[in-house]
Chains A and B, each alone.
Chain A
Amino acid sequence: MNVLNKKIPVAFAMALTLTAGLMLSACTDRNTETGSETSSKQETDGNLDTLAMEAVNQAQVKYKASEQAGYAWAKAGTMLASAQEALESGDFETAIHQARQATALADTSLAQAEAEQSAWLERFPKAPTGASP
């Protein structure tokens, strides 16, 4: 798997895109659950706004970290921006949902940054052995 991925970037990319996609849909599922949980919570303790703020803050921290690593993903940035907008307009459920998506994307980009610390070294063409320059 690993070696295959090294050699077939397209397959690797598709795999990652797929996993990212799956992750996102998983996240969506989770969020729907959390969403309904939080709605009922809101009815009881009315803290949806706090949860939304926390979710947006967490996404912000993760996105900043990915930027600092030099591996920020555009989609994470736009998702974070719309979460912030939703938060400001008082649409807390949407804010939570989008902030979690942004966090998931930023997490994946941080994993990419981590993997690339050494993975890139294998990728550069090697001089053919014994070839005279």
Chain B
Amino acid sequence: MSTPYAKLPAWADYGLIPLINLSVAFIVAGFVVMLVGENPFRAAVILVEGAFGKGTGVAFTLFYATTFIFTGLSVAVAAHCSLFNIGTEGQAYIGGLGIALVCLSFDSVLPWWVIFPIAIVAASAFGALWGLIPAYLQAKRGSHIVITTIMFNFIAASVMVYLLVGPLKPAGSQAPQTRNFLAGAELPKLNWMIELFGAKIRSAPLNICFLLALVMAFLVWLLIWRTKLGYEMRTYGHSSKAARYAGISETRIIITAMMVSGALAGMMALNPVMGDQHNVAIDFVSGAGFVGIAVALMGRLHPVGIVLAAILFGMLYQGGAELAFEMPAISRDMIVIIQGLVILFAGALEHMFRPYIQALFASVSPKSVGMQAVNGKGA
């Protein structure tokens, strides 16, 4: 018997339902805006214009999206193996440490295009390592990955505070951060890409990490649906008994999946650290890891969906910043509320409207129900 959730045509499943969830989130957010005495329609216009209206806005939106693509992919890879990696936040933070070590050592002697690949390796290695320990504990000792990854977020935060107020802080500096990197550790911007379309950009942090993120999205797709490893991860993700039967080692698959997940999380740090700030500062991840959970859920754990969801959240970040600036009654915290509503409706309450839509489909055109199963998942 098929699950009750497998009965809609693909376009409704992947298009209509997210759209409805999103609309509801925005309607509720609109009420919140009304509550503080602002015009919700004007707020919506400011938000969208802030995100996409001008070249600079687009560049910022894509800059934020880049970060979320990495964290979303990280969560998704683990989820395909039925592991709920809440540790993306900490893995990204520690990834930043790897980057700092590479940049601080080589930025005076090497050009960016040599440092960049080394930094990618370091960021992924550090992130992977931070994923490895909870994975090992899960695989060997049965410690639940949700608990251990949360704890590792705290450990990562403490380690970084220690390093950033101590060994990594330049002598005499007041700020808890590394020294600024030299030109060798600065990644090229991508603003010319948007200027191609005729827009003008003042200064925006969009950099080549965006392209790296898209490449990673493709590689994750390849990994999950086209490699033996991905096949094994999905098998284990669906049924650990079937995995055992098929000769897939539980220990190996859990550890591998979490290391890949951690590596993707670690790479996220490249974007703000080498692309924008040019230093590693305290709390530079600032919740992007958790946004990654929402992005992965909303994107249905599929790289294409994740890229789209990441752009949506990038828009909320950038447009939200504009909104807080233009409408004084709407504070930074209100923006967080709006983001929270999107997460709530698109992530946590994903299935809320599904039964109604299913019933609607069944009554309007019973034939369409069940099509999806026949067409396959199209991945």
Binding between chains A and B: no
Chain A residues engaging chain B, CB cutoff 8 angstroms: none
- Residue positions of B touching A, CB distance < 8 A: none
